[in-house]
A and B are shown apart, each in its own frame.
Chain A
Amino acid sequence: MKLYQLKVHEAHKLISDKEISSEELLLSVLNRIEDVEGMVQGFVTVTGDYARKKAREADEKIARGEAVGPLTGIPFALKDNMCSKDILTTCSSKILKNFIPPYNAEVFDRLEEQGAVLVGKTNMDEFAMGSSTENSGYFTTRNPWDPARVPGGSSGGSAAVAAADEVLFALGSDTGGSIRQPASYCGVVGMKPTYGRVSRYGLIAFASSLDQIGPLTRDVRDCALVMNAICGHDPKDSTSTPVEVPDYSSFIGEEIKGIRMGIAEEYFSLGINHEVKDMVEEAVAGLEGLGMEKVELSLPHTSYALPAYYLVNPAEASSNLARYDGIRYGFRYEDSESLLETYKKTRSVGFGAEVKRRIMLGTYALSSGYYDAYYLRAQKVRTLIKKDFDQAFEKCDVIVAPTAPTVAFRTGEKVRDPLQMYLNDVFTIPVSMSGLPAVSIPCGFIKGLPVGLQIIGKAFDEGTILKVAGAFEESMPFKNMKPAFGSYSRGGV
């Protein structure tokens, strides 16, 4: 086994037993990046020198006898929409192609305090708008399981580099499924915590009432360890919630007998591929075999979540992205006659097609005369969607569902039809609209492509989700399966 293949908890043990140094682990990871990054293309920026410095700092701390935290010396990546002081942060947009943040996102500060080692910033759909990384302003990331397919999105770079063993874990952000769907497509564990669980300070804003940061890891125990590091109230984000954070790793390895799992019929129809459906049903049977109690229920407003989301999300995005005007930071179109022209030309040249489409849609939905018919109605529908979950959770402890209706699709297959692309998120969006936590974990493979199982929990009850996910993962024979790179490693396909 190579060092770069280690899980976080395994590497931690070797580091704290002084069997390996942080620097050795890092060098293994950097070599791995050199070997496979030409194929995966998951990073916008690799921060090799910075990482070497940080790994040496971690080793010095350990040599001085300071406490070794679970993430001390562990190489990781941040999605490129989280600010990193003095390190390029582009949001995969041309409009931020030179942006060097003067401060850190709170999550990055927390990981650095633990001694984790940043090795790079990952590719994404521009401003997190998309489900495939094809909307990146720079390039499309490839799925490590099949380079002709997308890794999912918008946190596709983070999912791909975690799956390809280029980092031990990565952070992503999830607005309508952007952690869970790429986790499903790349065969890794991806958790979207409850809205308010993780500080959004320094996360470049997209749709503020939905955005939430979370981990992408190679197993459930690692997910718990990263959650321990990033969760908790932050006065710098007024929407972060002052709710106590349990030790998430204490839920791993617990029995799940008697935990009630809700199964909603709506999540097994709505355009789901029949092989995915079969596989998820098999997983449900597996969970019953582990002693969980199955409760059939209905979430009747599920099909309305996607249309409501595509009004709420663009509305918030159009407002958040008004700040990109070419004046204070980012790209400016220089050759213009007036201030208004500067704004217009800067935004038209700097933003890609999907970003413009959402700004246009959001501007329309918020404009005078249409606000009630579109934006306000969508927010009322959101109440109905949330109520469905509230009622369901009176009868069950978690809801088990597919993460996405299909396996990873081929690059280029859906770029022309925005609506088809949006439908990828049909099972993740209702959860986002309700602010609830959910994880996607691998539950099997169809023709060599991973399928994700989504476990949805009550607000602030990530612990029960992790307990169920941990027990499920333990029962699965494929838990250490890896993409076979073989012939296409070293410099492209």
Chain B
Amino acid sequence: MDITKKDVEYIAKLARLEVSEHEKETFTEQLGDILNYVKVLEELNTEDISPTFHVFPVKNVFRSDQIKESLSPEEVLQNAPDQENGFFKVPRVIE
């Protein structure tokens, strides 16, 4: 299945990326090439194979609920592009 410019626009929207007209064309071509390449996986019968999400599955890693030192509010905010009164500041969301 070929990927279209419309698909690229839709994916960009999901990924929160703004793409220029030029990028749309390049991505349509390049993503098409890559998706064509990965089609080779369809040669394999994977119906009864279970997926490997993790190579050495670990589950339920528990630890005791102890209070430990954590970052100070100042440290957490030290890289914030904008802040006010100890909060991250974002552009207006509600009119």
Give residues in A with beta carbon < 8 Å to B: 98-100, 102-103, 195-196, 209, 235, 238-239, 241, 301, 303-304, 307-308, 310-311, 318, 322, 325-332, 334, 336-345, 347-348, 351, 356-357, 359-361, 363-364, 367, 374, 376-384, 386, 418-419, 433-435, 459
Contact = CB atoms under 8 A, between A and B. Distances in A.
Residue from A384, A386, A433 whose CB has the most chain B CB atoms within 10 Å: A384
Interface in B51-85: 51-56, 58, 61, 63, 71, 75-76, 78-82
Report whether over half of chain A's contact residues are helix, strand or loop; otherwise say mixed. Answer: helix
A196 B55 CA distance: 10
Interface of B: 3, 7-8, 11-12, 14-19, 23, 27, 30-31, 33-35, 37-42, 44, 46, 49-56, 58, 61, 63, 71, 75-76, 78-82, 88, 90-93
A239 B58 contact: yes
Contacts of B81: 326-327, 329-332, 334
A90 B42 CA distance: 39
Q: Which 6 A-B pairs have the closest CB atoms?
A: A435-B55, A329-B79, A379-B51, A332-B81, A102-B75, A380-B46
Contacts of A345: 18
Nearest to B53: A379
A342 B91 contact: yes
Contact of B34 (A342, A381, A419): A419
Given A238-B58, A304-B41, A344-B16, A360 B71 contact: no
A307 B15 CA distance: 22
Report whether over half of chain B's contact residues are helix, strand or loop; otherwise say mixed. Answer: loop
A474 B27 CA distance: 48
Nearest to B38: A307
A318 B71 CA distance: 27
Given A307-B37, A326-B81, A344-B18, A239 B90 contact: no
A435 B56 contact: yes
A344 B13 CA distance: 9
Given A348-B18, A419-B34, A209 B58 contact: no
A310 B34 contact: yes
A424 to B, nearest CB: 15
Contacts of A435: 55-56
A393 B49 CA distance: 21
A318 B15 contact: yes
A332 B91 CA distance: 11
Contacts of B42: 377
B15 A357 contact: no
Contacts of B52: 379-380, 382-383, 386
7 contacts: A241-B56, A327-B80, A332-B81, A339-B90, A344-B18, A386-B52, A433-B55
Nearest to A434: B55
B34 A238 contact: no
Contacts of B61: 238
A363 B46 contact: no
Contacts of A334: 81
Residue from A102, A330, A374 whose CB has the most chain B CB atoms within 10 Å: A102
Contact of A419 (B17, B37, B40, B75): B37
Nearest to B40: A307
Contact of B51 (A303, A327, A380, A419): A380
